[in-house]
Structure 1
Amino acid sequence: MGLRMYSDSNIEGAVSASADDVAIRIEGLSKRFAVYHTPLERLKHVIAPKRTQGFSEFWALSDVDLTIRRGETCAIVGRNGSGKSTLLQILCGTLRGTAGRVEVNGRVAALLELGAGFNVDFTGRENVYMNGAVMGLSREEIDARFEQIEVFAEIGDFIDQPVKTYSSGMYVRLAFAVAIHVDPQILIVDEALAVGDSRFQAKCLNRIKQMQGRGVTILFVSHDVGAVRSLCERALWLDKGRVRMMGDAFSVTAQYSQFLFADEPSNEDANAGSTQTDSTDDGEQTDAAEHGVDDAVELMAKHRPINHWGSHVGSILEAGIYNAAGERISTIAALEDIEVRVKVRPPANADRTTLSVACSLKDLRGTDLIVSTTWDQAKIDFRQADETAVVRFKMKNRLNEGDYLLTVALEDRAGAMPQYYEYIEGAHYFKSLVQEKLYGVFLPDVEQSIESVNGSARSATRTIA
């Protein structure tokens, strides 16, 4: 593919793709749709476009800038209707922008919304060959890859049935199998994997990671914050067609999560200034939401919350990690006894029968590694607690060498999903140290043994005491 430049009415020109390390470059991209008041007005516009008045304009994208390097994995997040799918369709060439400049350097394979890309009256086999031809593969090249596509899709005899007979999961299986076997230089995935079952999702995410290792550029759209943080280095947040934030995936998803809960009602009695977390040397306490995009990573380094929100901010008075001597610590030896303390003052109107305190130890990409809640495990009865209480989580540090953060929350667990009175991601930052190099994330007790075939000899060791 190459470069596309859009004016308000037509393509101004095209030039050859640049030879640098940029896979996708978008500058000032805007997309306008005409919204007609009646079907008759739509017909009038087709016949006499300059004389039609009965429509309004809707700007799905407004002045979007984005540059993605070759081999980079970038996410796009945003609410439904924020312009994510429109942007991807323009990158794939199925839509034209209204204004701006779009440059795509490399073969693109895309999984857009369900139903795009396949002819439903054709069989799965016919659609594989049709899509391969569209991607520039010869008949012989498709023949050589067809068996791999069929095995990965796992749809059996349905490969020779019309696609219109497929379930949504079968459709996605075949579409993804085709996309990854045409040797794309750029892979675009738009929420399609959310349709498949958990096993197939894991299989797809594993294949995406393999493609990352081969240097494939990936543009990933998902509402799954965990998947975004696991796969992507950077993320773009779109809101009402405009760029709301661009930065590292952890920072962007943290602010996006906070934004999603911004409309929750607040308590007039909540003390927003009382929350105590790690701070800078001058004692100033703040929250990453008060700072711009460029400050997000710096704030993490300064031990401030990267994400802080809730309906009753101020309910968590203090949170941190302590050693056996009761000292607040930021460096923890492997297998050391530690205690997470969370001091809370629940809202006066909180239902204490469904109250819960949660803590999570995460890596710096935001992946939950160790999670514990008083609702799921201890079943602590907060009706017996005073107005202010300290909840303690005691454990051994079984994290391998690395940097980690503590996330704490005060929750109402009355419904199927927790409702957060307060949520602090990055309440405490710490480093785990080990004396010798070990692999993996955790340091569990593992018994090892060896036994000869005739059973005459046996030995056992424990790697971590």
Structure 2
Amino acid sequence: MKSILDVVNIGKSYAKTPAPGALFRSLLLNRPMPDADAFWAVRGVSFSLGRGESVGIIGRNGSGKSTLLQLICGVMPPSEGAVHHHGRIASLLELGAGFDPDFTGRENVFLNAALLGLSRTETEARFDEIAAFAEIGRFLDEPVKTYSSGMFVRLAFAVASHVEPDILIVDEALAVGDARFSAKCIKRIRHLREKGCTLLFVSHDVGIVRTLCDRAIWLDSGRMAAMGDVFTVTSRYMEFLFDDDETSLPEAAELRRPDEAVKALERAQAPISHWGSHVGLVRDWRFFASGRSGAGVAEYGDAVRIEVDFELPKAFDPASLAVSISVKDLKGTDLFVVSTADENKGLFSSRSGEATVIFDFVNRLTEGKYLLVIALEDRSIEAIQYFEYIEGAHYFSVSSAVRRFGIFNVPSVVAVK
């Protein structure tokens, strides 16, 4: 497949500011100024994207994500390496980039569209569609400096996504605004992808990255820590965030083969991700479908039982302990989650030592491939902490004698009167 974007050993460095008084001391002592050290915001990053591919860029604050996008867009020149692209790039980077705050929304639509390569005639033909998507009403003829951040993003995304770009680059834009507009943006991005648009997407929300992207690039301190199948890379990234141990960084080459990563996930017999502050508390687990232990296939309507054997962590309040399970698809999206904290809070208040938790439910998932997550959680504070997190404890498929639609089907009573 011919690439539409090639990033070749790209890097961006900045000279560090000399320490205060360095110039004065050099003049006073008649000595040369010390050489300024270089800070590399991004270095040694290389990858290629084909038409219609979708890649998420993840990493902690300061890892170089936004700098990399700016280099790709040409907002700043690289210190080394090169970027080659074929086709029109539309980007949503910093809030307000490409907009004049004193111009009205209407004027900025034409200005921004022109910057993205559209003629006035082309913009006029698409203007009504852009305005309808942005949903800012009468404020379209008000100066954009009066807009809220949400209105700003709605208008910017509407323009960028309606110029029919070959490459769409989005940097955290969906983090601003309400859930309804975010869902609308996701639907628009999927539509563009179906038409062959290539997507580069930066977000701290791993769930959205997994929803929109096929592959992921993990940046750490300006360098590529991993690239590959989105589920594999994001799982390793989440594990790294919890451990916060730089020695656990994988070699970049480890996860650069997306096809192999997907195949490995589908045939895996071991967890794809296993981490936590007290790994080893979960002693064993069992998956039953209609009484069949370790079943690899569950029928729609089967009675499913999951048993988890574990040791309660010592020196922790057992009342704050929760055991949770979730079922995910192979992109890592939670389809449903069940936790003792929600169903029977304080279940372990008077217990110590070892225990077994049993989860029973009826399988309402439609045909597909799924994986099981088991987690021991510390619910002592609002932000959940994990004693142990096992992603991919069991892999199974679902079959159904009747064709059903959606992700899962909730039994309902249908009547006519």
**Relative to 1, partners in 2 of residues 1:195 and 1:99: Cα closer, same or farther, differing over 3 Å?**
same
Instruction: Look up the equivalent residue of 1:372 and give its one-letter code.
Output: V
In structure 1, the residue matched to 2:344 is 378
| Count of residues in correspondence between the two structures | 402
Q: 299-308 or 67-76, which moves further after superposition?
A: 299-308
Quick one: which of 141, 154, 158 aligns to 1:160? Answer: 141
| Residue 402 of structure 1, aligned match among 360, 363, 368 | 368
Distance 1:212 1:170 in 2: 24
Cα distance in 2, alignment partners of residues 198 and 241 from structure 1: 31
Q: Distance in 1 between matches of 2:356 and 2:58?
A: 36
How far is the alpha carbon of 1:438 from its aligned partner? 2.2
1:13 paired residue number:
none
Query: Aligned letter for 2:98?
Result: G
| Aligned position for 2:294 | 328
Equivalent of 2:305 in 327, 339, 360: 339
1:106 aligns with 2:68: no
Q: Aligned equivalents of 1:120 and 1:175: distance in 2?
A: 13
Q: 1:362 aligns with which of 328, 352, 370?
A: 328
Partners of 2:164 and 2:192 within 8 A in 1: no
Within 2, Cα distance between the matches of 1:228 and 1:203? Answer: 16
Contact 1:41 1:55 in 2 (8 A): no
Moved more, 364-373 or 293-302: 293-302
Aligned twin of 2:353 = 387
1:292 to 240, 251, 254: 254
Hey, what does 2:26 align to over in structure 1? none
Q: Please, which of 221, 226, 241 is the counterpart of residue 222 of structure 2? A: 241
CA distance in 1, matches of 2:314, 2:175: 39
Contact kept? 2:320, 2:346, Cα under 8 Å: no
2:273 counterpart of 1:307: yes
- Name the CA distance, whole Å, in 1 between partners of 2:340 and 2:153: 39
Amino acid in structure 1 at the alignment position of 2:201: F
CA deviation map 1:37-83 (0-9, x unaligned): 379999xxxxxxxx975643110111111111111111111111111
Correspondences of 1:207-246 after superposition (within 5 Å): 207-246=188-227
Give distance in 2, aligned partners of 1:91 and 1:138: 23
Change (3 A) 1:140 1:364: same
Please show how residues 440-451 of structure 1 align to structure 2 within 5 Å.
440-450=406-416
Runs of 5+ unmatched residues, structure 2: 24-31
Q: Which moved more, 1:431-440 or 1:416-425?
A: 431-440
Check conservation: 2:375, 2:389, Cα contact below 8 A. Answer: yes
1:45-444 equivalent positions in 2, closer than 5 A? 53=34, 55-263=36-244, 292-293=254-255, 294=257, 296-297=261-262, 299-300=264-265, 301-325=267-291, 327-444=293-410
**How many angstroms apart in 1 are the aligned matches of 2:103 and 2:36?**
37
Q: Is the 8 A contact 2:225 2:249 kept in 1?
A: no
Q: 1:114 to 1:316 in 2, by over 3 A?
A: same
Distance 1:364 1:65 in 2: 27
SS in 2 for 1:201: helix
Query: Shift of residue 187 of structure 1?
Result: 0.5
1:298: Cα distance to partner? 5.0
Q: AA paired with 1:190? A: D
Deviation at 1:302, TM superposition (A): 2.5
Percent of paired sites with the same residue: 48
Q: Aligned-pair distance for 1:299? A: 4.3
SS at match of 1:149: helix
Structure 1, gaps ≥5 residues long: 1-19, 43-50, 265-286, 451-457, 459-465
Contact 1:36 1:54 in 2 (8 A): no
